[in-house]
Amino acid sequence: MKQHKDAHEALSVVLSGQRIFVHGAASTPLRLIDGLVSHAGRLRDVEVMHLHTFGDAAYADPACAESFRVANLFVGGNMRRYYDGGRVDYLPCFLSEIPALFRSGERPIDVALIHLSPPDDHGFCTLGCSVDVALEAIRTARTVIAQINPRMPRVHGDGFVHISRIDHYIEVDDPIPEVPRPVLGEVERAIGRHAAALIEDGATLQMGIGAIPDAVLGALHGHRHLGVHTEMWSDGLLDLIEIGAVDNSRKKSHRGKSVSGFIMGSNRVYEYIDDNPSVIQARIDWVNSPHEIAKNPRVTAINSAVEVDLTGQVCADSIGHRIISGVGGQMDFIRGASLSEGGKPIIALPSRARNGASRIVPALRSGGGVVTTRSHVHYIITEYGVANLYGRTLNERAEALIAIAHPDDREMLAREWRAIRAVSG
């Protein structure tokens, strides 16, 4: 283990042709990324691999084309402008299976860049806001380089890393990236009310970050004994914890504790999770295992989509051929919720996109990826209501989805569906 004066010095050990894993979400090691980019002049054909990260991702800039290429496990907002399907590419994989990707040697890691809380009296740091796939990256990487930050929360669970596992490190004192709370409109609030009506007291929740998850959580203030077993959470869930709506008392797995793979939000969230034994961050192949998810009662999984076709196919990672996110854990939780006793897998989306196009469509646009299949889908929610597709024929599904589309799009959708039936019949 060697301490370095700055990130440039620490990253001098990286060699051309290596694969670099970068810790993601609120644990993005921004100083180490800067240090990596500072070596662009001497490096060639280095693959950078990560989930969603913060920062400007300068290694993806065309100016660094000879030095770095990117294998995105999730195309975050900072990567979309660089994505070209070649040098900056996307690797589709269920979030629950990414650790096995590292472990199997299918995608071996040479260097892991990580962001840690300081070591305790026994030498244990933690992965803080993001355990997810980073734990397996550390376990399998040949070299681990860390930035150690007193502002990183010390979080209980699986994310403990002994200082002896670190090969090189720097010390920083930097703010943890924050995510502003979204502004909710009436569309989101209506979706939130519809979703909340399906959620029972004692349910176990999975939902992410953004306007629709926040709207759903905001409509649950009157609920009681809710539990948390989720890929990630943010400020909207903390509101429910603080008012007592979430107490995790009915869960079968880790009763009394909020379980997740990563957390990102405001400093208020980071202060809450710091050294808080009621919050557990766990490895993502366990958190997102449908078998583990299903152990909890009434798992209600709420996920979003780009568009849904009239048979129930859900596109959630692309707009046509243009990748805008990733597979993530949507299918993990859709399946886990459907196997849970009383569980409810839900896809929630506005009836129309910002440009006015219907998001309930006769057929997915060319290139659109099916993240959740029509065999897995159950509930679809828009601001106009709820369509339960489980146990329904294709024609019954189409009728139910047309009924929750924007009123001005229903005639078009019915006409297109009749044409589809005529051809398929």
The string of pLDDT tens digits covering residues 95-150 is: 999 999 999 999 999 999 999 999 999 999 999 999 999 999 999 999 999 999 99
> What distance in Å separates the CA atoms of residue 402 and residue 119, rounded to the nearest whole number?
56
CA 278 centroid distance within chain: 22
Whole-model pTM: value is 0.95
Closest by CA position to 402, among listed 390, 421, 392, 417: 417
3-class SS string, 193-247: HHHHHHCCCCCEEEECCCHHHHHHHHCCCCCCCEEEEEEEECHHHHHHHHHCCEC
Q: Compute the half-sphere exposure of residue 226: CA atoms within 13 Å on the CB side of its CA.
A: 27
* pLDDT over 90 (residue 17): yes
* pLDDT over 90 (residue 424): no
- Mean pLDDT value of segment 238-252: 97
What is the dihedral sign for C-alpha 405, 409, 414, 418? negative
Per-residue pLDDT band for 21 (boundaries 50, 70, 90) equals: very high
The string of pLDDT tens digits covering residues 311-342 is: 999 999 999 999 999 999 999 999 999 999 99
CA distances from 97 to 70, 234, 326, 392, 404 (A): 19, 24, 13, 30, 34
> What distance in Å separates the CA atoms of residue 335 and residue 249, rounded to the nearest whole number?
23
Q: What order of strands is seen across the sheet that includes strand 143-148? A: 2-3, 168-171, 143-148, 111-116, 19-22, 46-50, 68-72, 88-90
CA 385 centroid distance within chain: 26
> Nearest 5 degrees, angle CA 300-CA 236-CA 313?
40
* pLDDT over 90 (residue 83): yes
> What distance in Å separates the CA atoms of residue 233 and residue 243, rounded to the nearest whole number?
16
- Mean pLDDT value of segment 153-181: 97
* pLDDT over 70 (residue 159): yes
Closest by CA position to 48, among listed 79, 71, 27: 71
Average pLDDT of the chain to the nearest whole number: 97
Q: Which two tokens stand for residue 210?
A: 């953004």
Largest separation between any pair of C-alpha atoms in the chain: 72
* pLDDT over 80 (residue 10): yes
Among the listed residues 188, 231, 292, 307, the single catalytic one is: 231
Report residue 248: phi and psi, to 5°.
60, 25
Closest by CA position to 49, among listed 75, 23, 30, 70: 70
Share above pLDDT 90 across residues of the chain, in percent, rounded to a whole number: 98
- Mean pLDDT value of segment 283-287: 98
231 a catalytic residue: yes
Closest by CA position to 205, among listed 182, 224, 180, 178: 224
Per-residue pLDDT band for 423 (boundaries 50, 70, 90) equals: confident
- Mean pLDDT value of segment 376-403: 98
* pLDDT over 80 (residue 425): no
